[in-house]
Structure 1
Amino acid sequence: MRDMGGDQVEEAVAGALALLRAATGQDWGVKAGRLDWSCRRTAEHIASDLIAYAGQLAGRPTDRYVPFDITFAECESVEDVLDVVEATGALFSAAIRATPREVRAFHPYPFRSANREGFAAMGVTEVLAHTHDIAEGLGIAYEPPAALCEDVLTRIFPHVRPGPDHWRTLLWATGRGELPGRAPLPTWRWSNNLVIPAERLTLQGVTPAAAADLCAGGTGGFEWIEGGPFESTRDAAGAIVKAYEAGVHRPEWGMFVLVRREDGRAVGGMGFHGVPDEEGRAEVGYDLAEFARGNGYATEALRALSAWALAREDVTSLFATVDRTNSLSQGVISRTGFTLVSEDEEQYAYELRG
């Protein structure tokens, strides 16, 4: 799986600067595309975002943005502003590379945090989208590499159905363009992965990029213990990919990888079979790598996932099926508080109500 990190930020910034520095002789006081900002103000915004994200990864606050800002009072020309964009891009890339994988910092939407991959994807999106705005205002052509756009879409736009053209899809997803068969977006948001804490584990939401890698035989970007991931984890990842490609994937109702706090290693997978039905019932499933079994991980994770789900207004109950021969899984489901509601020749069916 292609990483999302400092290399992508540098690629995005370098491509933007190559285009914009060739147009510094134009009037940057004009509006930037559909924005109310001027082209110069939009370039300043790019730099402000890059340094703000670097500050989040460096300071690692959990409840707010680090309270600092940069000023452009000393920038006498557009060239000066672009120099600041270059410098803040380098600082942001360095911060990403210095941040361990498990670190998360505050970002308000939608789940109150992001990891280094999420911040990298947000930074690249800011660069690509606002370079487009400036280019549109100046009347020059701009199209970033398709791979960069796909990197962003499969990390922080899991709810957006892929299109035949990654750049046009990203423009539509950020309210900047049209796609055949899709209504324009009056408002838009990206979506970092959800992480649910447990005592010894974190349940880390799997992005479409990670799911595609898992179902293709890769690690999904996780460091697995021996014997992981289990085959049913790869099967569940394949279901995530199909839902994403169909445009019906909702990240909070997808798949989570169970990661140990003590060493950052993945031990299994857990998640939902889709969004809650009309009655508010959601189905759950899980597995562990063989060498992780017998430690109470599945019970701990299922309790955390169940508590998160049943605290929502749109969920009334959780449902799970377990093979009659799988006594270990029956123990997990019972210890979590599920009760047996039906059975057939092959399976038991359990329910947990809120």
Structure 2
Amino acid sequence: MRAMGGEQVEEAVADCTALLRTAVERDWRAVKAGRLDWSCRETAEHIASDLIAYAGQLAGRPQDAYVPFEIALDEGTGNAGLLHVIETTGALLAAAVRTTPPLVRAFHPYPFRSADRTGFAAMGVAEALLHTHDIAEGLGLSYAPSDELAESVLTHLFPHVRPGPAPWPTLLWATGRGELPSRAPVTEWRWNNNLVIPAERLTLVGVRPAAARDLRIGGDGGFDWIEDGPYEGTRDAAGMTVKAYEEGVHRPEFGMFALVRHEDGRAVGGMGFHSAPDEDGRVEIGYDLAETARGQGYATEGLRALADWALAREDVRQLFAVVERANIPSQAVVLRAGFRQVGAGEEFLTYELQGGGDQVGQGLS
């Protein structure tokens, strides 16, 4: 997996400025940028503004709002000078991405009110790609980024969008800038950064489709795993995530999470849902740990946190888990997390946890 990071920000900005430099003598204020209400000049200024804003979020790390500042160009700055500003703000974002620790998050409104360094990098790349397209369309220039960059944006920020025949047309469609056969036009859209759920010693970090794809084929998914991780169940769950994404039924908040230990930032296991809740609000949950992480209460802690989060939602009424009869430790985990046994087969036992009560975390300690 090619991680989304500073290198991708630099690549997107370099492509943007190289193209726009071919039209630097044009009057960008007199031309509308594609389907936007902004002129090409305003759109180029917006690229720089977003790049520095994302760098500011990673550097300042606010949790409830944007850092309260705006970028302003000196009076009389021409198009060439503006391109230099875009290059500079892109370099600042790339540097902020590279120097921010993986688990650090800062405020961004969509959809869970925070983003990590990967998310801010992806948003910076998206701003550069999409608004370069808008300006190019207005100026009559030909532009298309690499498939790899466009696909990275899709798998990081549009996990709810079914992949199309090619990444760039799919990204244009997903942001209301183009059409795809057999798909309705998009009139409203937003970024979709990954969800994190805090626990006492762990953070449950939502696994993006790009990371899930890497885990499925034997990679680390961008996580620093303990020595014997990830376990085979985590790779199987990653495959389920990729399948749901490719079929267009993936709901990111009901995907898989990596259990990342606070003390050293290392992933110790995986946990998550087998699908989105059904029409009755019922959803299956599963988990596993690397062998050396077992017996320390991590699975119980993670399951309690995930169950609390899920049952606080209006669309979830019941969680259930299916555990092998021979897996006594896993049975103990669900019982400690407040589940009760409701079914028994030859090979598996079924447990459930109902919403609307005070069952979560009320099992054995």
Q: Which runs of 5+ in 1 are unaligned?
A: none
Report the CA distance between 1:98 and its aligned residue.
1.0
Q: Does 1:101 align with 2:98?
A: no
Q: TM-score, normalised by structure 2?
A: 0.96
Partner residue, 1:113: 114
Report the CA distance between 1:24 and its aligned residue.
1.6
**Residues 18-29 of structure 1 aligned to structure 2 (within 5 Å):** 18-29=18-29
Report the CA distance between 1:342 and its aligned residue.
1.1
> C-alpha distance in 1, partners of 2:259/2:231?
12
> C-alpha distance in 2, partners of 1:76/1:107?
30
* Aligned partner of residue 27 in structure 2, secondary structure: coil
Partner residue, 1:5: 5
Report the CA distance between 1:73 and its aligned residue.
4.0
Partner residue, 1:83: 84
Q: How many residues align?
A: 354
Residue type at the aligned position of 1:48: S
> C-alpha distance in 1, partners of 2:317/2:241?
23
Aligned identity (percent) is 71
Report the CA distance between 1:63 and its aligned residue.
1.0
Residue type at the aligned position of 2:94: S
For residues 191-242 of structure 1, give each alpha carbon's deviation from its aligned partner in whole angstroms, at most 9, with x where no partner exists: 1110000000000000111001101001011011121100011011011111
> C-alpha distance in 2, partners of 1:74/1:308?
50
> C-alpha distance in 2, partners of 1:282/1:183?
29
Partner residue, 2:187: 186
Report the CA distance between 1:164 and its aligned residue.
1.8
> C-alpha distance in 2, partners of 1:82/1:225?
44
> C-alpha distance in 2, partners of 1:278/1:153?
28
Is contact 1:75-1:81 (8 Å) kept?
A: no
Partner residue, 1:307: 308
Partner residue, 2:218: 217
> C-alpha distance in 1, partners of 2:177/2:302?
40
For residues 279-319 of structure 1, give each alpha carbon's deviation from its aligned partner in whole angstroms, at most 9, with x where no partner exists: 00111000000000000000000000000000000111101
Is contact 1:43-1:130 (8 Å) kept?
A: yes
Residue type at the aligned position of 2:5: G
* Aligned partner of residue 349 in structure 1, secondary structure: strand
> C-alpha distance in 2, partners of 1:75/1:81?
10
> C-alpha distance in 1, partners of 2:4/2:34?
28
> C-alpha distance in 1, partners of 2:72/2:330?
57
Report the CA distance between 1:72 and its aligned residue.
2.1
Partner residue, 1:245: 246
Partner residue, 2:40: 39
Partner residue, 1:123: 124
Partner residue, 1:334: 335
> C-alpha distance in 2, partners of 1:160/1:294?
38
Partner residue, 2:363: none
> C-alpha distance in 1, partners of 2:90/2:210?
24
* Aligned partner of residue 341 in structure 1, secondary structure: strand
Report the CA distance between 1:82 and its aligned residue.
1.3
> C-alpha distance in 2, partners of 1:46/1:286?
41
> C-alpha distance in 1, partners of 2:94/2:284?
40
Partner residue, 1:267: 268
Report the CA distance between 1:156 and its aligned residue.
1.1
Partner residue, 2:176: 175
Partner residue, 2:358: none
> C-alpha distance in 1, partners of 2:77/2:234?
55
Is contact 1:27-1:138 (8 Å) kept?
A: no
Residue type at the aligned position of 1:319: F
> C-alpha distance in 2, partners of 1:260/1:39?
46
Report the CA distance between 1:190 and its aligned residue.
1.6
For residues 310-348 of structure 1, give each alpha carbon's deviation from its aligned partner in whole angstroms, at most 9, with x where no partner exists: 000011110111111111011000011101111111111
> C-alpha distance in 1, partners of 2:335/2:64?
36
> C-alpha distance in 1, partners of 2:281/2:88?
50
* Aligned partner of residue 22 in structure 2, secondary structure: helix
Q: Does 1:71 align with 2:48?
A: no
Partner residue, 1:233: 234
Residue type at the aligned position of 2:24: T
> C-alpha distance in 2, partners of 1:72/1:184?
36
> C-alpha distance in 2, partners of 1:151/1:111?
20
* Aligned partner of residue 28 in structure 2, secondary structure: coil
> C-alpha distance in 2, partners of 1:172/1:318?
35
> C-alpha distance in 2, partners of 1:212/1:176?
27
> C-alpha distance in 2, partners of 1:251/1:31?
35
Partner residue, 2:17: 17
Report the CA distance between 1:27 and its aligned residue.
2.4
Report the CA distance between 1:113 and its aligned residue.
0.8
Partner residue, 1:57: 58
> C-alpha distance in 2, partners of 1:182/1:174?
13
Partner residue, 1:348: 349
* Aligned partner of residue 44 in structure 2, secondary structure: helix
